[in-house]
A and B are shown apart, each in its own frame.
Chain A
C-alpha cells in the first residue's frame, strides 16, 4: 500500500500534463487550419502559405501553453489541486509527498490517516480539464476553415504559368535579344458588358469582336513583328516595350518574330479561336403548330413566347400573315405586331406575351392566320437574327361546307364528285326520316345504293392517293358492276361484312374465280400463267400508292383518314344500318373540307405568274427562230492544294530515312505550309500544330528522336487537308503489240 502511493501521485500528475498538452495541440492544429484557409483568400505562393501557417500555429501553441502554465509546472500544482478539490484529504496532501523522517509526530499521524483516505478517494479523483470546451472550440474552428476553403476564390489561377514556360521556350534559341514578358489583354466588345482580362496563355479563345492587345517587352530594342494568319504582318515599334492592339473578328493564328543578332527568331504559331455570339433562341410555349378555333366572339389568342440570348435581346416582334379566300383568289396580308408585355424587349431571358385579336386582324370563318416570332440580339454592328417556325391558326368554316374547287392550282385536284359526301349525308338523313313510310325492301335497296355511291366516292378520292389500280383500292368498280345483279343479299353481307378485315379484301375478283362460280376448263399451263398475274406484263406499274406524292404529308394523312372513314360509312350502309353510318359520313365530310382548305398553303408556296402568251404564236409550228445552241460548262473549281500534294511525295521520300532536305524540297514544303496556313485559318485547332511541326522540319530544327513522329504528323495532316474526291472512271491505257491490235480489229469480221 505504502509503496504505491508515490506512483499514484506521479500517475495523476502525468495524466494532468498529458490532457493539457492534448488540449493545446488540438487548438493549435485548428488555428493552423484556419490560418491555412484564410491565406487561401490571398494571392501568395504555397511556400509562404505553409510557413505562415506553421508560424501562427506554433505561436498560438506557445501562448496557450504559457497561459495554461505548462512551463511552470511543479509538484505543488497537483497538491494544490487535490487539496482544493477534495476536502476529505484535509489539506494535507503535501504530507504524502514529504519525507517521512522529516515529519514530526502529529504530521506522521496525520499522514497515515490521509494515506488511508487517499486510498479511498483515489478511484474518484478526476484531474480537472477543459476537454469539452476545447473540442467545441476546435470543431468550430475546423468548420470555419472548411467553409473558408470551400468558398475561397481561385486567386492562384491568375498566375501566368504557361506563359512563363512559353517565354522560356522562346528564349531558348536566342543569344542577345531576349523576351522579358508578354502581356495579352482581352477586352470583350462593349455590348457584352464583360470586364477585360489578361490571358494566361498565348493560345487564346476570345469572344467575337474582342479587342486584344499585346504588350511585348524585350531586354533591348529590336525590330519585331506580329504575323497574323500567316499573311498579315504588323511591324512593332522598335522600343523595348512594344504594344499592338487588334480587333478580332475571325478565328486564325499568329506568330511573333523578332531580330536577334541579325537572324530572325520565329515563334511557334498560336491560335486565336472565337466564341461566337449565338443568335437568340425563341420558342412559342402555349400553342400547337396547328390550332383551330370555332368562330365565336370575342376571338382572342394569347401567344406566349420565351426568348433567350447569351448576351441580351434588342428587339422582338410577331409577324402575322392573314390568308383569306380560296383557290385563285387567295389573298395575303402581313402585319408586324409588338409584344404586349413587356413593352420593351431587353435582357438575356424574356417571357413575352401578346394577345392576337383575330377579329381585329380581319379574320373571318375559313380564314387562316400564319405567324412567327422573330428577334434580334444586341450584337453590334450586325445583330444576330432568328425566328420561330410558322404557326397556323385557322378559324373553322362552319357555314360553308360546299365545294371549293381550287382551279387555281396547277393541277385540278378536286374531283367532280366533291359534293357527293354532302349529298350522301342528305340522302342518308332523308332515308332515315322516311324509314317508317317505306317498305323494308325499299329501305334496304336505297341503303345499299347509297353504299355504292359511297364506294364510288371513295374510289375517286383514292386516285389522289395514287391508288390508281383496282387491286390497290379494293374490289374494282367494273367487277362489282358485273356481279351486282347476280348477288343475293346474303352474299353481299358475306363479302362486305365478314371479309372486310381479311387480307384478301383487295382481291375480290380473284376470290370469285377461286370460289368456283365460273367453272371454266383451264389447261394447267393457262392456270400457271394466270397465277403469275397476267396483267403484270402489260400494266404500267408505277410506284406503290403508299408513296404517291400529290400532296404534302399532312394532307395525305388526312385524305388517308377520310378514306378509312369512308370504308366504315360504306360498310354500315351495306349492312342496312344508315344511322350507324352517319357519324362516319360526317367525319369524312369534315376531313374533306379541311383538305380543301389546306390547299391554300400550297398556293402560298408555289405561286407563279407565267408571262402572257401571244395567242397568234400558239401552235403555229414556226421554227424559224429555233437555232442550234452551244453551251460551255467546266469542272467546278475545287481547292486542290497542289503544293500539299507535292509535299506529300517529299514526305514519302523522307520517311525512308533520308533526312536531307534539298532546296527544292524546302520550297515545296514552304509552299505546302502556305496552303496549310490557309486551311488553318478555317480550323486553327486542327492544323496549327501541323504548321508548327512543318516549320521545324523546314528549318531543320527537329531532334533526331522526334523526326519519325514529326513526319508522321505531317503525313496525317496533309492527308486530312486534301479533300476526298469522288470515285470516277479512268481512261485505261495499254501498249498492244501491233499483231494483237490487228487481231482484235479483225476478230468479228
Chain B
C-alpha cells in the first residue's frame, strides 16, 4: 500500500531532509579528516545517527492492520444470509448482535468502529456520523407512523392518524371509558377521531388484531380568556355569547351604553373595576375585544395600537356599519343573506350579512364565502363574524354547533399569551427507558428539572436564549419536565421496551439511513496509523553517537 507509512512532521519534510543531508555531509567530512580507524563503520554510525535524528523530527507513522477493528452490528430483524456473506468477506471484523447486549448504550464506546449495521437500525446517538453501511430489514407488522395533535383540549373533537403496515384488519381506539372509535385498515394510512372528556394524562390504547399498544395522550383543560365586550345597545346575540363565555369560566366584561356618559357594566367571573375609558393599558389586560354594533370610532387609534401588541379584536357589524367597516376591512356585496355552515355531518342554514371578504384569512367558511375571517395586524388579529343570528341554535338544541363556531372564532382571534419558557423534546416517540432524550429550552435563564432532578443546560453558540440538554429517563411511565422559574410543565411518556416495535423500527431505520447516506461502499474502510515511538530513535541515536565517541579510542 502506498500510504503504509506516513510522516506527521511538525516541520516541512523537505527542510528536514535538506538539513539532514547537509549535516551528514559536514559530519562525514569531519570524520574523514579525523584519520582514525574504522572509517566506514564510523560513516555508517553517523548515517544511523543522522537518520534517527531525522526520524525524531519527521515522526513517522505506519498503517496498522486497520480492518481488524471494524464492527458489524446485527440489530433485530437482520437478514441472516447477508450477515453470513459479510462475515465471510470481513473475517477479521467483530460481529455484535444487539440482542445479546445488556444495553444498547454499550455500543457507544465502539461507535467509530461500526462499519455495517443490519436489520432494524440503531438510535442516532450510538451511530458514527458517517462511514458505515446500512442493510435495512423489511418493516415488521404494526403501526409505522403515528400523528397525534400537538395539543389536545378537553371536549374538543380531535383526530389522530397513522400508517398501518400489515394485513387488513380493524383498528380500534380504546380510552379509559371503553371503545371510542374504530376503522378498518388495509396497509396504508388510517384516521381515528375522538372527543376527550377529561383533562389529564391518560393512556389510551390502539388495538389491532388483538394486539394493544399504549397511546399516551395528555389532555389539556381549556385556559380561560379575558374578553371585553363593548356594545351600544343590548342584543340577544351578545347576551348568549356572554353567557356562553361566562358559563365556560372565561373572564368577561360587558359594557353597554345606556346614555351618552352612562354605561351598564357586567363583570363575569372577575372582580368589578372601573373601565369608563378605553386605554391601551386597559386593553392589555384583555385577550379579546368584541365590538358589537359599535365601531368605537373614538378609540380606534387606541385599539389599533393594542392590536399591534397582540390583542384580538372581533367586530360584530350592525347593518349601517357594513357600508363603511372599521379597522380596514373590505367587503364585497353578495346576494344571499343566509349561509350554510357545515358541522360534522350536518349542514345548517344561518342568517348572515350579505357581504363577503375574499382577501382575509377565514375562520368559518363555506366554499368561497368567508363567514368569519380575520386579518393580521402586528402581533394581533382583527376579525369579524358575519353570521348575524347564531343564538337560535341553542334554543333549537344545536348548542354543540353554536359552541363549535364561537370556540373557533374566539380562540383564533384571541391574544396568544407569551410564555417565558418553552420546553421541547426533539426525539420522536417512542423513546425507551435509558435512552437519551434531547431537550430544547427557549428561555432567558432557564432552570429545568426532570422529575425533580435538575438538568444541566448549555446555550446555543449563536442564538441567544436557546438552550439544549440530554436527559436519560430511567423508568417507563409518565415523566415531567418542569421549568422552575415559571412552572411551565411538559409531560412525556416512556413506553415499555417491547411496545411500538414497528413504529420504533421505522424511526430507527429512518435515523440510521440518514446517517449512513444510503449507499453501500465497500472501499470506505478507513486506515489508522500508529506513530513509531520516538524512544526507539533516541536509543538508536545514542548508540550511534556512542560508537562515534568510542571508535577513536579503540
In the docked arrangement, what's the CA distance between A658 and B476, Å? 10
Q: Do the beta carbons of B155 and A729 come within 8 Å of each other?
A: no
With contact pairs A635-B248, A722-B197 given, residues A728 and B403 touching in the complex (Cβ less than 8 Å): yes
Question: Could you tell me which residues of chain B, from 69 to 124, have a CB within 8 Å of some CB in chain A?
Answer: none
Which listed segment binds A: B11-19, B55-63, B184-192, B258-266?
A: B258-266
Q: Do the beta carbons of B224 and A727 come within 8 Å of each other?
A: no
In the docked arrangement, what's the CA distance between A658 and B155, Å? 29
With contact pairs A652-B201, A729-B250 given, residues A741 and B259 touching in the complex (Cβ less than 8 Å): no
B296 close to A (CB within 8 Å): no
In the docked arrangement, what's the CA distance between A745 and B309, Å? 6
Which listed segment binds B: A149-157, A611-619, A626-634?
A: A626-634
Q: Do the beta carbons of A734 and B416 come within 8 Å of each other?
A: yes
B237 close to A (CB within 8 Å): no
Q: Do the beta carbons of A718 and B176 come within 8 Å of each other?
A: yes
B477 close to A (CB within 8 Å): yes
Name the A residues within 8 Å of B309 (CB-CB): 745
Question: Could you tell me which residues of chain B, from 327 to 362, have a CB within 8 Å of some CB in chain A?
Answer: 333, 335, 337
Which range holds the interface residue count of chain B? 35 or more
With contact pairs A724-B197, A729-B222 given, residues A630 and B477 touching in the complex (Cβ less than 8 Å): no
Q: How far is the CB of A725 from chain B (nearest CB, A)?
A: 5
Question: Could you tell me which residues of chain B, from 155 to 195, have a CB within 8 Å of some CB in chain A?
Answer: 155-156, 175-178
Name the A residues within 8 Å of B510 (CB-CB): none
Question: Could you tell me which residues of chain B, from 374 to 427, have a CB within 8 Å of some CB in chain A?
Answer: 376-379, 399-400, 403-404, 406-408, 410-411, 414-422
B465 close to A (CB within 8 Å): yes
Question: Could you say which of B224, B263, B376 contacts A731, with CB atoms under 8 Å apart?
Answer: B224
Q: Do the beta carbons of B262 and A626 come within 8 Å of each other?
A: yes
In the docked arrangement, what's the CA distance between A214 and B15, Å? 114
| Residue among A649, A651, A731 with the highest chain B CB neighbour number at 10 A | A731
Name the B residues within 8 Å of A655 (CB-CB): 203
In the docked arrangement, what's the CA distance between A532 and B334, Å? 12
In the docked arrangement, what's the CA distance between A627 and B264, Å? 8
| Number of residues on chain A facing chain B (CB within 8 A) | 53
**A597-630: contact bitstring with B at CB < 8 Å (1 yes, 0 no)?**
0000000000000000000000000010011111
Q: Do the beta carbons of B465 and A729 come within 8 Å of each other?
A: no
A263 close to B (CB within 8 Å): no
In the docked arrangement, what's the CA distance between A658 and B419, Å? 34
With contact pairs A634-B246, A634-B269, A726-B399 given, residues A734 and B418 touching in the complex (Cβ less than 8 Å): yes
Q: Do the beta carbons of A741 and B379 come within 8 Å of each other?
A: yes
B365 close to A (CB within 8 Å): no
With contact pairs A729-B411, A730-B223, A735-B419 given, residues A747 and B478 touching in the complex (Cβ less than 8 Å): no
In the docked arrangement, what's the CA distance between A623 and B155, Å? 47
With contact pairs A626-B259, A741-B418 given, residues A725 and B200 touching in the complex (Cβ less than 8 Å): no
Question: Could you tell me which residues of chain A, from 733 to 748, have a CB within 8 Å of some CB in chain B?
Answer: 733-738, 741, 744-748
Q: How far is the CB of A133 from chain B (nearest CB, A)?
A: 69
Name the A residues within 8 Å of B245 (CB-CB): 729
A716 close to B (CB within 8 Å): yes
Q: Do the beta carbons of A735 and B442 come within 8 Å of each other?
A: yes
A581 close to B (CB within 8 Å): no
Name the A residues within 8 Å of B175 (CB-CB): 719
Q: Which residue of B lies closest to A644 (CB)?
A: B198
Q: Do the beta carbons of A648 and B200 come within 8 Å of each other?
A: yes
With contact pairs A633-B268, A658-B477, A744-B379 given, residues A731 and B403 touching in the complex (Cβ less than 8 Å): no
B515 close to A (CB within 8 Å): no
Q: Do the beta carbons of B308 and A632 come within 8 Å of each other?
A: no
| Residue among A536, A629, A725, A727 with the highest chain B CB neighbour number at 10 A | A727
B154 close to A (CB within 8 Å): yes
A111 close to B (CB within 8 Å): no
Q: Which residue of A lies closest to B423 (CB)?
A: A735
Q: Do the beta carbons of B264 and A629 come within 8 Å of each other?
A: yes
Name the A residues within 8 Å of B400 (CB-CB): 726-727
A-B CB proximity, top 10 nearest:
A735-B422, A730-B222, A728-B248, A719-B177, A729-B411, A731-B223, A715-B176, A729-B410, A735-B419, A744-B379
Known: A731-B224, A733-B416; 17 extra A-B contacts, CB below 8 A, are: A537-B335, A541-B337, A628-B264, A632-B266, A648-B200, A649-B201, A715-B177, A718-B176, A724-B155, A726-B403, A729-B407, A731-B223, A731-B415, A732-B414, A732-B416, A733-B419, A734-B422
Residues of A within 8 A of B (CB): 532, 536-537, 541, 623, 626-636, 645, 648-649, 651-653, 655-656, 658, 715-716, 718-720, 722, 724-738, 741, 744-749
Give 24 pairs: A residue, B residue, CB < 8 Å, sorted on A: A536-B335, A626-B262, A630-B266, A631-B265, A632-B268, A635-B246, A635-B249, A648-B176, A648-B200, A656-B476, A716-B178, A719-B177, A722-B197, A728-B249, A729-B407, A730-B221, A730-B223, A731-B224, A733-B416, A735-B443, A736-B418, A741-B418, A745-B378, A749-B308
